């Protein structure tokens, strides 16, 4: 059994490795965006009943992508606060096009994600290059 993560810096790299596939990150982005939009609608309209829908949309998209695409356990199960913060950090970096460098550093020194389908940025690039050659 691996030792618990002690710092947010360690967690951030772990978190990114658990989101190695671009489609997993896109599911998170959509879920987080819907969750925020629904939470804002709940506040603006005063309809507290929308809060559960905000949580279901945000976590539903994310957990679906982990269980069925990346094939790993969501980091929120073990590190809920750091995971919540990292969801928004990752979405923000995606929105401004600055996530790639963070992904490369997370996979430095041969580190891998825990998912059955997890791939490093280098493995993804090789796969895309092979797909281009096949065309």
The one-digit pLDDT tens for each residue of the chain (135 residues) are 468 899 999 999 999 999 999 999 999 999 999 999 999 999 999 999 999 999 999 999 999 999 999 999 999 999 999 999 999 999 999 999 999 999 999 988 777 887 777 777 777 667 655 655 665
Q: What pLDDT, on a 0 to 100 scale, did the predictor assign at position 95?
A: 96
Q: What pLDDT, on a 0 to 100 scale, did the predictor assign at position 3?
A: 81
Q: What pLDDT, on a 0 to 100 scale, did the predictor assign at position 84?
A: 95
How many Å apart are CA 72 and CA 87, to the nearest integer? 16
Q: Which residues 6+ apart lie within 8 Å of 12 measured at CB?
A: 86, 89, 102, 106
Q: What is the pTM of this model?
A: 0.83
How many Å apart are CA 91 and CA 96, to the nearest integer? 9
């Amino acid at each position: 059994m691996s030792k618990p993560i002690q710092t947010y810096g360690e967690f951030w790299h772990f978190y990114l490795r658990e989101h190695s596939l671009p489609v997993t990150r896109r599911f998170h982005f959509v879920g987080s965006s819907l969750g925020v939009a629904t939470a804002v609608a709940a506040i603006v309209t005063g309809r507290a009943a929308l809060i559960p829908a905000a949580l279901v949309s945000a976590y539903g998209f994310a957990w679906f992508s982990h269980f069925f695409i990346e094939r790993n356990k969501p980091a929120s199960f073990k590190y809920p606060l750091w995971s919540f913060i990292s969801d928004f950090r990752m979405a923000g970096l995606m929105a401004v096009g600055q996530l790639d460098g963070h992904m490369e550093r997370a996979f430095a020194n041969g580190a891998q994600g825990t998912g059955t389908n997890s791939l490093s940025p280098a493995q993804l690039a090789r796969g895309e290059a092979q797909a281009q050659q096949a065309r």
